[in-house]
């Protein structure tokens, strides 16, 4: 077995699913810096979708993450979305100098009880990731997904649109 790229202890080595979340990558959200550092030159193993400043990665043909070889080879430097697991980011909406993101813990990790930390820590990680991605000027809102995230976004968009229409009428 190859060793990972550093000596950080990896609790996933005892994963009962043999690290299924790394062997089948689905919708990993990363930013440009993470892509350049960890995935550039490996795109033949991936489908890569750009959504604004985010990249969404899935492995091709149900293959493993290109950074996986019996274990994560970049574990100490893995993307925030991997570090966050078994929490995971859901919807990310961007517009008008704001970014709004949801996260949840409805994942299939069998070690959830052991690995799931406090929500405050997860939110701090996501907040830093989004600030790094979108810039200090961007207002960041992070919410645990109770199912109302999309409604919240649509209501904000409707309010912003109504404000623009009103401003246009007054001009
Ligand atoms: S995060 Fe969970 S599912 Fe993924 S490798 Fe670790 S223990 Fe397994
Ligand atoms: S970067 Fe590492 S932790 Fe993240 S999916 Fe790939 S192998 Fe797993």
Q: Which ligand is nearest to the CA of 59?
A: 2
The pair of three-digit structure tokens given for residue 48, joined into one six-digit string: 């890569």
State in Å: Cα 64 to ligand 1 middle: 13
Residue with tokens 């994963």: 15
pLDDT tens sequence for the chain (171 residues) = 333 444 568 899 999 999 999 999 999 999 999 999 999 999 888 999 998 999 999 998 878 999 999 999 999 999 999 999 999 999 899 988 999 999 998 888 999 989 999 999 999 999 999 999 999 999 999 999 876 555 555 666 677 778 778 877 655
- Other residues' Cβ atoms within 10 Å of the Cβ of residue 142: 20
Q: How far apart are the C-alpha atoms of 127 and 16, rounded to whole Å? A: 31
Report the SS3 class of residue 72.
Answer: strand
As for how many domains the chain has, the answer is 1
- In a domain, residue 3? The reply is no
Pocket of ligand 1 (CB under 6 A): 12, 15, 17, 19-22, 85-86, 109, 111
- In a domain, residue 139? The reply is yes
DSSP letter assigned to residue 28 = E
Structural domain for 57, as ranges: 11-170
Q: Which ligand is nearest to the CA of 4?
A: 2
- Other residues' Cβ atoms within 10 Å of the Cβ of residue 146: 9
């Amino acid at each position: 077995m190859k060793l990972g790229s550093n000596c950080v202890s990896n609790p996933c080595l005892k994963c009962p699913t043999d690290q299924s979340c790394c062997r089948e990558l689905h919708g990993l959200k990363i930013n440009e810096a993470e892509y350049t550092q960890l995935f550039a030159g490996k795109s033949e193993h991936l489908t890569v979708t750009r959504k604004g400043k985010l990249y969404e990665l899935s492995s091709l043909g149900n293959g493993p993450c290109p950074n996986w070889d019996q274990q994560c080879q970049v574990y100490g430097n893995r993307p925030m979305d991997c570090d966050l697991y078994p929490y995971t980011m859901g919807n990310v909406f961007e517009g008008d100098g704001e970014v709004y993101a949801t996260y949840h813990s409805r994942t299939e990790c069998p070690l959830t009880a052991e690995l799931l930390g406090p929500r405050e820590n997860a939110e701090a990680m996501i907040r830093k990731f989004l600030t790094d991605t979108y810039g200090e000027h961007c207002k960041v809102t992070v919410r645990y997904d109770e199912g109302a995230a999309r409604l919240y976004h649509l209501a904000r968009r409707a309010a912003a649109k109504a404000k623009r229409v009103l401003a246009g009428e007054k001009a």
